[in-house]
Chains A and B, each alone.
Chain A
Amino acid sequence: MTDLLEGEIGIATESDLVVARKAVRGAADSLGFSVTDVTRIVTAASELTRNIFRYAGTGVMRWHRLERGGSLGLELTFADDGPGIGDIEQAMQAGFSSSGGLGLGLPGAKRLMDEMEIASEVGKGTTVTVRKWRRKA
């Protein structure tokens, strides 16, 4: 049985984007996020999954439920062994893209989520971690 609140999906093809979005939607829905927050989280996941596909070719998305001081949240991690990001500051600027994209992926995902961390080493790979906390009702 697959746990909605925790899991891992390999990213290798375009259709994995759809699978990843579905998994994240399932997790965010079952954690009780609002419709708008679910949309924000799924959209951020779509951008970050596409980054793996576009820059590294393959990678993995992991997700799990968070609990901190009585608040619930969702953490998503996107990891690849791709070319890495040479200049993270530059990559975080809206409109910068090394792939001919819109350059909205990383800065956009950061705005949609509450927290974001990027660890990257050129030639080794990139790991992006994002978190969203559920607002108390």
Chain B
Amino acid sequence: MTGSISVIRVGDLLLVTVPPDPDDPTVGELQEGVLRAMEQYDAKGLVLDISTVETLDSFFARTIAETAQMVGLMGGRTVIAGMRASVAITATQLGLTLGGSLTALDVDRALRLLGRGAQGGAR
């Protein structure tokens, strides 16, 4: 599973699609890759697409929340997009929070939330 994280640039934003069942090193790699790309591309925000993720356990959630916090320290905003209903139910019962991260139903809405997308601007 290593090497399966790719960070895509969309204007001044970064888009990362998280694989369905990443192992711990891949989750760690995601965090490092995102922070490197933030610096390299002078990005203003990050969209984490978790629409294919079927299992969000406490380690994974903590890494996501930490990444969002780190991106925030670097001046960017993070939107977590596409959480499945079954994952949202499970995460809530487990007691997970994603810190103060913004969330969106899908990537399109996430991009619009960050001021970019088909409609070309924030609401």
Contacts and interface: CB of A to CB of B under 8 A. Distances in A.
Bound together? yes
Interface of A: 14-15, 17-18, 21-22, 25, 35-36, 38-40, 42-43, 46-47, 50, 94, 101-102, 104-105, 107-109, 111-112
Main secondary structure, interface of A, reads helix
Given A36-B89, A50-B57, A104-B94, 10 more contacts: A18-B1, A18-B21, A39-B87, A43-B91, A47-B58, A50-B59, A101-B58, A102-B96, A104-B95, A108-B93
Contacts of A101: 58-59, 62
Given A14-B23, A17-B24, A18-B23, A35 B86 contact: yes
Contacts of B84: 39
B25 interface: yes
Question: For the side of the interface on B, what is the size category?
Answer: 20 to 34
Contacts of B23: 14-15, 17-18
B71 interface: no
Contact of A40 (B58, B62, B85, B93): B93
Interface of B: 1, 21, 23-25, 54-59, 62, 84-87, 89-91, 93-96
30 contacts: A14-B24, A14-B25, A15-B23, A18-B1, A18-B23, A21-B21, A21-B55, A25-B54, A36-B85, A36-B86, A39-B55, A39-B84, A39-B87, A40-B93, A43-B55, A43-B56, A43-B91, A43-B94, A46-B55, A47-B57, A47-B94, A50-B59, A94-B95, A102-B96, A104-B96, A105-B58, A107-B95, A108-B93, A108-B94, A112-B93
